[in-house]
Structure 1
Amino acid sequence: MSHVRRVVITGAGTVNALGASVAETMAAMKEGRCGIGPLDFPDVDRLTIRIGAQIRDYDPEAHFNRQQIALYDRFTQFALLSAREALGQSGLSFSGALADRSGVILGNSGGGLGTLDDNYRTVYEEGKNRVHPFVVPKLMNNAAASQVSMEWNLRGPSFTVASACASSNHAMGQALLMIRSGLADVMVTGGSEAMLCFGGIKAWEGLRVMSKDACRPFSANRNGMVQGEGAAVYVFEDYEHARARGAEILAEVAGFSMTADAADIVMPSRQGAARAISGAMKDAGLNPEDVGYINAHGTGTAANDKVESAAVADAFGHHADRVMISSTKSMHGHIIGGTGAVELVAALMALNEGVIAPTIGYEEPDPECALDVVPNVAREAEVSAVLSNAFAFGGLNAVIALKKAP
């Protein structure tokens, strides 16, 4: 058996409703700050759901020129800004052989939904017969991954994963496997989403899973999810490669597992989730007692939180009441295809800062969610291994395990 390559994180970047960087986001998580508020875009008064975790005071012109703005949908802009931070921290530059052995895998579910929405409005509502020639390259799901590859000369394996709310965990899992298998030395990975537009919210309203007032994961009075927007991007790197260049290592990507419920297109499955949680621990060589923190999928819907709690109980057995589990969606909303990536920030914070992000909005205990959900207030705790859960519509589950830097 050949030596299995270890994979580490050497850069991280994010933009979301809590902050325009990893440091700002961690500071907000430590404070238990809520990024959810009234939505602001055309026709919001025609919606029954009018709240979301929108990125406020965002000015594309502060970051991109006019030509770029014409070509980059909001989800691509968020990915590029996150990649800029992550690659800046990593200290890597890409040319020659390294460029050929470095790629990009990003998760995204909706593509350029704002672009789609605007152009449908132009054609259907305003009755115009022409759209901008860049509409297709702007709205395609792989736009962000392709623009990141072009910006930093990443010429290796590059593509986009679209599996609803598991997209970015799936993407990061693929990046891990690419490096482990020797297909690449460096992978830029994570995810982004920008669905907060009229059509994006209107579609989700139809599911009747959205809250009109707040995201309260695991709380007995929870009444649905709240959408957010944003991105997070990481530099995954072969451990020996990172060590040889003296890179600062943020964490080891120790394990990954993905499963399918093969059961229902929207209802979560306890068994499918539990198999993914156990699989990630097994892949990372971890026992339940080794894991100190889980970043929950924790959407705040009645079904998800109950099923996830049961899955954790199944996977952890009598250690389930000792592991801390919180949902940061209570603060930054559900970022759909980008959510697992943004939530990995909380996993890094737990490992490197010894602070567990809280589940805010928690008002009353639910006997069906009887775990330590770190209610309302962040907690100091030393942990050496963490999990990050993502369970998607379509019954697709993806769990990542991180360990402290080797």
Structure 2
Amino acid sequence: MKHEVSVTGLGVVAPHGSEPDALFDALLDGRSAIQPIFPDLPKPAAAATVAFDETRWFTKLQLAGVDRVSQLAVAAADLALQDAGLARDDTDPERIGVYAGCGMGGAAALEAAYRGGMRVPPLTIPAFMPNAPAAHVAMRNGVQGPVLTYSVACASSSVAIAEAAKAVQRGEVDVAIAGGSEALIVPGVVLAWQAMQTLASFQPGEAATAVRPFAADRTGFALGEGAAFVVLESTEHARRRGARSHATLAGWGLGSDATHLTKPDAAGQARALRAALREAGLQPRDVGYCNAHGTATRIGDVVESHALAEVWGADLDRLRVSSTKALHGHMLGAAGAIEAVITVLALQRRQLPPNAHGSAPDAACNLHLVSPGATAAPEIEAAISNSFAFGGTNSVLLFRRA
């Protein structure tokens, strides 16, 4: 028997704050959290950072050996569980799982170790290992079921949510805490991304509008940090405990390009899109919104546009598209999760975040982009969130209104 999968909890710790509705309102208003960082770097850099008070979740003693990436994960997961109204004794701890995405692990711990010379902090290894966020979420909540980490670059937390949904659907767990975190705004990581020439360029005073997805003058993305988690459970389990459902996670598509480590492939992305539609039992015309991967890179945006055009065909103009990375940055391992939360809120509120800073769209990206001021979507019933990673892994999540 396959169980329907409900999203009953949303938790975010993001550059726009830790309230999902406040985050969504900021996106609707086009408020950018991207700002200049590290003025001493050879090249100007910008990122979206989180104002985070770790003492809300940790004592000074508990913080020993806990990197920022794990702190953010614990906070977002806790907020998601609170939103779901799920008490610790509501479910057998062996029937709860944690499914977490993390692309790079504890970047701050690793940076400190490199800069410390021969004096390396003794807890560096447990602080920077990529599965630390999942482990800390599990320990904090007494989870005794599967505790798994997915490190799949930009698709990490989208893959984690898809795998969690499969476990709930098959009855392997009753509750899944699924999402991801990333905290890599440290000089070494920023310099590495600059060396790849993927980060957006900008003039002084223009960092906030530097990221322009699908625009003719786009130059790349800005890094972001944060965490987002959702609580997934079968619809029957949610009803039994009187829980509210934000949305149904109706479909997911996972696959690989198997062509190139960093260059995306439209055919591979199209396969993941079709797989998500097939799992949900929907046709392209049934889906009204796409939260695009939309990194504002020269190649990536065109490839994603071609993939959507290949699958939607004559119905492409009915699919409204935006990339919210223009405003909250590219959170890498947490990107799929934060964008999944945004997609759920778009369905719930029947409003779509605009595609910011794209007043001059690229003709090669022939998409129905959501314009600022034209965000109402009164008839929307289903939406997708795309995450396409270095390494060629493609992940698509498809949500339906509750």
**The two structures share one fold, judged by TM-score above 0.5:** yes
TM-fit CA distance, 1:92: 1.3
2:137 is aligned with 1:140: no
The TM-score normalised by the length of structure 1 is 0.94
Which of 221, 232, 244 lines up with 1:225 in the alignment?
221
Q: Mean alpha-carbon deviation: is it higher for 170-179 or for 376-385?
A: 376-385
The residue number in structure 1 matching 2:159 is: 170
2:201 is aligned with 1:212: yes
Which of 241, 244, 247 lines up with 1:248 in the alignment?
244
2:88 is aligned with 1:88: no
2:286 is aligned with 1:290: yes
What amino acid is aligned across from residue 272 of structure 2 in structure 1? A
Q: 1:378 to 1:167 in 2, by over 3 A?
A: farther
SS at match of 1:165: helix
The residue number in structure 2 matching 1:126 is: none
The residue number in structure 1 matching 2:60 is: 66
Q: Conserved in 2, the CA contact under 8 Å of 1:215 and 1:330?
A: yes
Count of aligned pairs: 394
The residue number in structure 2 matching 1:11 is: 9
What amino acid is aligned across from residue 398 of structure 2 in structure 1? A
- Structure 1 vs Structure 2 CA RMSD: 1.3
TM-fit CA distance, 1:63: 3.7
For 2:289 and 2:8, how far apart are their aligned partners in 1?
21
2:260 is aligned with 1:264: yes
For 1:258 and 1:116, how far apart are their aligned partners in 2?
31
Q: Conserved in 1, the CA contact under 8 Å of 2:178 and 2:232?
A: yes
SS at match of 1:166: helix
Q: Conserved in 2, the CA contact under 8 Å of 1:257 and 1:276?
A: yes
For 1:312 and 1:191, how far apart are their aligned partners in 2?
25
SS at match of 1:311: helix
Q: Conserved in 1, the CA contact under 8 Å of 2:36 and 2:44?
A: no
Q: Conserved in 2, the CA contact under 8 Å of 1:12 and 1:233?
A: yes
The residue number in structure 1 matching 2:41 is: 46
**How far does the alpha carbon of each residue in 1:348-402 deviate from its partner, in whole angstroms, 9 at most, with x for none?**
1211111100111113121111111113446011211000000001111000000
The residue number in structure 2 matching 1:101 is: 95
The residue number in structure 1 matching 2:388 is: 391
TM-fit CA distance, 1:95: 4.1
SS at match of 1:367: coil
**How far does the alpha carbon of each residue in 1:62-118 deviate from its partner, in whole angstroms, 9 at most, with x for none?**
442112222321111111111111000111123496211001011000100111001
2:311 is aligned with 1:315: yes
Which of 15, 32, 35 lines up with 1:34 in the alignment?
32
Q: 1:97 to 1:225 in 2, by over 3 A?
A: closer
The residue number in structure 2 matching 1:400 is: 397
Which of 253, 271, 288 lines up with 1:275 in the alignment?
271
The residue number in structure 1 matching 2:111 is: 117
Matched residues, percent identical?
39
**How far does the alpha carbon of each residue in 1:167-197 deviate from its partner, in whole angstroms, 9 at most, with x for none?**
0110001000111122111000011101110
For 1:354 and 1:96, how far apart are their aligned partners in 2?
31
TM-fit CA distance, 1:49: 4.1
Q: Any unmatched runs of 5+ in structure 1?
A: 124-128
Which of 55, 73, 76 lines up with 2:70 in the alignment?
76
Q: 1:241 to 1:96 in 2, by over 3 A?
A: closer
For 2:149 and 2:57, how far apart are their aligned partners in 1?
23
What amino acid is aligned across from residue 86 of structure 1 in structure 2? A
What amino acid is aligned across from residue 381 of structure 2 in structure 1? S
For 1:397 and 1:98, how far apart are their aligned partners in 2?
33
TM-fit CA distance, 1:159: 1.0
